[in-house]
Amino acid sequence: MNNVILLLKSYGVLKRLIIGILLLSIVYIIGVWGFVCIEDYSFLDAIYMTMITITTVGFSEVKPLTESGKIFTVVLIFVSVITYVYALSVVTSFIIEGEFRIYFKHLRVKKEISLLSDHVIICGFGRNGRQACKQLASSHRKFVVVEKDKNIIEQFSLSDNILFVEGDSTEDSVLEAAGIHRAYGLISTLPEDADNVFVVLTSRELNSKLKIVSRASNDSAVTKLKRAGANNVISPDKIGGTHMAILLTKPDVLEFIDYISGNLDIRIEEINFNQLKDQYKNKSMHELDISGNTGANIIGFKDDNGEYNINPSMDMKIIPDSKVFVLGFYYQINQLKEIYFNT
């Protein structure tokens, strides 16, 4: 229902179309009433007379009109012609200008969002939001964009690849329209830190299990965002400065990392305890033999205390709350999922 309201606000032509239909209905009702009261027609004759009058088809009257009836008929024709012209112009605009197609695109998007689960919600479609969308799309992860800028929403309307909700992501109803109760994660990339804090706070209240990543412009906002419920907070300016410095001091290392992260054929996958089939739980990485079975390489391990180990020992076991990080080609990661993951 909230999404329909947002849709009506975005496309006033639909509202005008409804008004046109209502006006035509009112004119018709007045016509029937007038012929019954003024000319003493039967109800059926009044319906017939009203129809041939407002459509101007030129059929003869049921019986000769009185002076009052003629005046009423002239007024009825005049009003009905104006109403028809208005309604016709709206319908023409609705179809020819493509708004009919856009409207049904919105309905299709709404239906697709209602069927989503375990997806990611991206609040804001600025530079950071666009980059997040590209990364999620390359990982074949379903996502929904929440954006209040109508110009950006119009760009979405021309694309079949982006699911969107128009509205302010600080509002509960908008986040609910994006399926926050069924979502896996949320990325807040709004330009104002205060808005990001509010989005994080609201999102955490609506879905306590949600994984939330937020943007922060100032260092002072990082603590507030984490208190509000963000799992991770990213400062794009700080990352950008670090990136530029490393390009000068260790350019090949950074280019290698960029190559891995930007190559769609190479994936870094995390494996957690709950994803594994029962026969592989509580086993050491040596017993799993991921490299031997798939060709992918184990590059890191996160133990149940949250501590990271780079190039971990093969004797470490995958126990509850631990994770293994694997690097491999796309086909190797798919093979890994087929062998080790629950289906």
pLDDT digits (tens, 9 = 90+) for 67-123: 888 888 888 888 888 887 887 777 776 665 555 565 666 677 788 888 889 999 999
Predicted pLDDT at 2: 42
pLDDT range class, residue 9, cuts 50, 70, 90: very low
105-114, 138-147, 311-320: least confidently modelled range = 105-114
Please state the three-class secondary structure of 89-155 as a single string.
Answer: HHHHHHHHCCHHHHHHHHHHHHHHHHHCCCCEEEECCCHHHHHHHHHHHHCCCCEEEEECCHHHHHH
Predicted pLDDT at 6: 41
- E strand spans, the chain: 120-123, 143-147, 163-166, 185-188, 211-215, 232-234, 266-272, 297-302, 308-310, 323-329
pLDDT digits (tens, 9 = 90+) for 214-235: 999 888 888 899 999 999 998 8
Distance in angstroms (rounded) separating the CA atoms of residues 223 and 229: 10
Distance in angstroms (rounded) separating the CA atoms of residues 341 and 324: 13
Q: Which residue has the higher pLDDT, 1 or 177?
A: 177
Packed helices 219-228 and 193-206: angle between N→C axes, nearest 10 degrees: 10
What CA dihedral angle connects 205, 207, 208 and 211, to 10 degrees?
-120
pLDDT digits (tens, 9 = 90+) for 232-265: 998 887 777 777 787 788 878 777 777 777 666 7
Q: Which residue has the higher pLDDT, 43 or 258?
A: 43
Predicted pLDDT at 198: 93
pLDDT digits (tens, 9 = 90+) for 28-37: 898 889 888 8
| Proportion of the chain above pLDDT 90, given as a percent | 22
Domains of the chain plus CATH, in order, are: 2-97 (1.10.287.70), 116-240 (3.40.50.720), 265-340 (3.30.70.1450)
What is the pTM assigned to this prediction?
Answer: 0.58
Q: What is the mean pLDDT of residues 32-54?
A: 86
Q: Residue 172 in contact with residue 206, Cβ under 8 Å? A: yes
Please, is 104 exposed, middle or buried when counting C-beta atoms within 10 Å of its C-beta (0-12, 13-18, 19+)? exposed
Is the pLDDT confidence value at 267 over 60? yes
- Write down the residue that tokens 């059926």 correspond to: 44
- Write down the residue that tokens 């997806």 correspond to: 119
